Amino acid sequence: MAPSTCLEGVRSLTRRGVIRGCHADIDPAARNRGVQAPVPVRVRPLNRTVIDTFTGFAAALPEVLHVLAPASAPR
């Protein structure tokens, strides 16, 4: 079966609800690299103390590579 034929079959099955979803189970070690993902977070109340406290907490986590604070937050 050609790749285009297979893709059209998968799309048809998805449109009809036969395929409801899929996922990939990736082994980061097999790729010789870790997995990175941007994670948006909304803090409340929106004030500099709360933002600074949260960014300090998040930056101290060993899994976190970088923390960005919103530019539109009050100073």
Domain spans in the chain, listed from the N-terminal domain onward: 39-75
State pTM to two decimals: 0.50
Residue 73 in contact with residue 50, Cβ under 8 Å? no
75 in helix, strand or coil?
A: coil
* E strand or H helix at 11: helix 3-15
Least confident of 34-38, 47-51, 53-57, 63-67: 34-38
Residue 67 in contact with residue 55, Cβ under 8 Å? yes
Work out the end-to-end distance of the chain between its first and last CA atoms, rounded to an integer number of angstroms: 60
Q: How many CB atoms lie within 10 A of CB 14?
A: 13
Looking at residue 5, what is its pLDDT? 94
pLDDT digits (tens, 9 = 90+) for 25-42: 888 788 877 778 899 888
Residue 18, both tokens: 């036969």
